[in-house]
Amino acid sequence: MFSFCHTKNQPAKLVEADPPTIFHGTFIISVFCSSKKQFLILSKMRSPVRSILILVFVITHSMSQAQTTPEYPWYDSSLTFEERADALVNAMTLEEKIAQSMDQSPAIDRLGIPEYNWWNEALHGVARNGRATVFPQAIALAATFDPELIFRVSSAISTEARAKFNASVKIGNRRRYAGLTFWSPNVNIFRDPRWGRGQETYGEDPFLSATIGTAFVEGMQGDDPKYLKTAACAKHYLVHSGPEALRHEFDAIVSDKDLQETYLPAFEELIKQGNVEGVMGAYNRVNGKPASGSQRWLQKQLREEWQFDGYIVSDCGAIADFHNYHGATADAAESSALAINSGLNLNCGDSFEYLAEAIDRGLLKEETLDASLKQLLLTRFKLGLFDDVDDHEYNTIKPEVVDSDEHRQLAYEAAVKSIVLLKNESDLLPLSSDVNSLYIVGPHASSEEVLLGNYYGLSGNTATIVDGITSRVGAGVTINYKYGVLPYRDNVNPIDWSTGEAKDSDVMIAVMGISNLYEGEEGESLASSTKGDKEDIKLPQNQIDYFKKLKGDSETPLILILTGGSPIAIPEIEPLADAILFAWYPGEEGGNAVADLIFGNRNPSGRLPVTFPYSVNDLPPFEDYSMKGRTYKYMQVKPQFPFGYGLSYTTFEYSEASFAKGEDKAYTASVTITNNGDQIGEEVVQLYVSSPAAGQGDPISSLIGIKRVEIGPGKSMDISFQLDKTDFYMVDDNGDRVTRKGNYKLWIGNSSPGERSKELGGRWEVITVSDRMIK
């Protein structure tokens, strides 16, 4: 059915509507004008007369409205966003301004403003809001080393986000997680593998985090010249990576060198190149000042030095931490004033309820609040929330795109390209098609929990690892599955029916590791005694014991599939496994991706975005934020698996590296790559730089370029990286970028440079570059 509808700014027009309501012969047409329904009631008339009167009413109403100016200037699309935001702020009372500065912004009926809830999540799919495509967890997306793929993933996420928003508005759902402001991505540096939320990040390297994060933001925000598709948000600014149990009170002490070299580059890149719309301040202090209440970092760094023109939001409850834990202020009024005066716009929480008191006490000027609120409202204008539904195409996206076949295929592709082959003794994988029997064990083989990670949506199309393997074999293949061992504690029942049976099969597959129950955010990891962090990074001891028993003295090949969002140290069981796949939290298509890699339908190509140490004893203290001894850049001890590492079913040879200086101070580093195997494969080509002071204050090496390429068997490809002198900059102790005197080295290869990488099959071409060439 159709009805004539009039919005605040537009003439009456024909739109889809519910059928007219008839009560005892009374015909009602609803015409929407401003925020009220007007009813034309035509009582028990003959149909022709009634029809004529309806037509006359519609024509008259349409003509009168066509000559009417918009009731409110903030709904006048002929004005600029700035003019409309100014008008709206000027029309508000102080009480209304305060309410609109909090994440649960209520409706203002007298001004025609609907309620809006700012809090939404989209870390690896629209989260916490029902049905959506569940892509691999963020750390797994980083393992693809593929910004073009991540752009397509986040474009799909934002398409689903708009579809869900459009559908939510139609049914009046404006609650939390239904909006268009997504507090993703997380570009904190995964500096320590004990941090439970490291799974949300893009790993330990600033360049990789910036590259993947920028691609994610661009896909989320769209390419419309006027409107944002959704508003992404870089978090948790500026230094934040555990411990979770102390996050509300912790003071991260960081040197100028580590700030500029490690902690800030990803945020800077997302702002300058990605034009990210939002930034979220962290809970903790940084060098004595609350991250969400520091004028140095919010106003001077973000607004002035980086020219950030979006909104800044506190982490949820962080403003209250100022006075409750940090001792930075005495009460909520002082905390709220400090936040606004420092440049923060939006309080996730309720501390801003004390802003009126802050103004009364002279802690804050109302005009400062006005400027802050205007900045905040501009985001809502950019999202088109005050414009007619026909003004941009994003409002036409339909619910059919949510968890569509196309998006599930994209989730599958992302999972396939993220899974890392850590070991493949005697080329056990891929499994032969003539295998007769498989025996699958492990607590995560049939678990949907390990597909999800944290900050996830829900799908009715998940494929567990058992599902995937079972679907890929013929009807005549024998498959048995037993849980085998509990995830994090010894079995209560001592009877073991799995290890003996498993050894009689052709191949054993153990699916082990951890899940979001064991690592994650403060209140979500129910199996963690440290509020989501890990005291140790090894596999839970009961799983180690079970794996040893499973292998025993058997010669039956044993494949280990590990799930997790962080490095897992496996020195005790690595020698017992014939092949190892690290699957991360691979999303709804994870089981199918794992299965296709096992059976050779796809070739592994994931790479580690974090270093896997042998032991927690190889790490500095968790609470020490110095980068000394951390990550591939500064870690002196040999890791079990290095950053950038990952095997393939084929082999690639690197040759004929060269370096050339072009015009406008540009440089080109090139290499030839040859696929020496007998099947097609994708290689992740990595470019690293080492300065003359490498390992003596400067990083041992630093990633400065990545390219993912597909090369057929026996084929070669020339790969080039475009560089400039900034790629050779190092950061001194003062936080300044400098060029070192002497010879630099460029490493072009398949992993981070190092002895352990070489032991595992790392290949590079090395180019020496004099500092005179790059001045």
Q: 573's torsion region: left (phi>0), alpha (psi -120 to 50) or beta?
A: alpha
CB 747 within 8 A of CB 701: yes
Strands 13-16 and 716-724, bridge-based pairing: unpaired
Angle at 132 between CA 128 and CA 138, to 5 degrees: 75
- Cα distances (angstroms) measured from residue 233 to each of 143, 295, 303, 372, 535: 21, 19, 15, 17, 30
Q: Nearest CA to 771 among 749, 737, 745?
A: 745
Looking at the DSSP bridge assignments, the partners of residue 661 are: 667
3-class SS at 602?
coil
Give the Cα separation of 319 and 348 in Å (integer): 8
Task: Establish whether 589 is a catalytic residue.
Answer: no
Task: Establish whether 315 is a catalytic residue.
Answer: yes
Q: Record the tokens describing residue 523, joined without a space.
A: 């209140």
Considering the candidates 315, 387, 596, 727, report the single residue annotated as catalytic: 315
Which residue shows structure tokens 């929407």? 32
Non-local CB neighbours of 183 within 8 Å, separated by 6+ positions: 119, 120, 121, 233, 235, 278, 280, 313
Q: What is the DSSP letter of 181?
A: B
List, in sequence order, the alpha helices (H) in 129-181: 138-143, 147-170
Give the Cα separation of 191 and 712 in Å (integer): 37
Q: At what angle do helices 206-221 and 147-170 cross, to 10 degrees?
A: 40
Considering the candidates 261, 403, 519, 698, report the single residue annotated as catalytic: 519
CB 659 within 8 A of CB 723: no
Give the Cα separation of 696 and 567 in Å (integer): 26
Looking at the DSSP bridge assignments, the partners of residue 684 are: 708
At 668, which helix (H) or strand (E)?
A: strand 666-675
3-class SS at 748?
strand
Give the Cα separation of 651 and 496 in Å (integer): 41
Give the Cα separation of 334 and 323 in Å (integer): 8
- Cα distances (angstroms) measured from residue 461 to each of 133, 167, 302: 9, 21, 42
3-class SS at 48?
helix
Q: At what angle do helices 206-221 and 265-272 cross, to 10 degrees?
A: 30
Give the Cα separation of 692 and 485 in Å (integer): 51
Which residue shows structure tokens 């970028």? 737
3-state SS, one letter per residue, for 702-722: EEEEEEEEEECCCCEEEEEEE
State the CB neighbour count (10 A cutoff) for residue 775: 9
Non-local CB neighbours of 172 within 8 Å, separated by 6+ positions: none
Give the Cα separation of 555 and 575 in Å (integer): 13
Give the Cα separation of 126 and 155 in Å (integer): 11
3-class SS at 724?
strand
Which residue shows structure tokens 């940090």? 326
Angle at 632 between CA 631 and CA 636, to 5 degrees: 95
CB 332 within 8 A of CB 354: yes
Give the Cα separation of 90 and 23 in Å (integer): 44
Edge-to-edge order in the sheet of strand 652-661: 652-661, 666-675, 716-724
State the CB neighbour count (10 A cutoff) for residue 691: 25
The reply to whether omega before 613 is within 30° of 0 (cis) is no
Q: Record the tokens describing residue 684, joined without a space.
A: 């992740």
Catalytic center residues: 315, 519
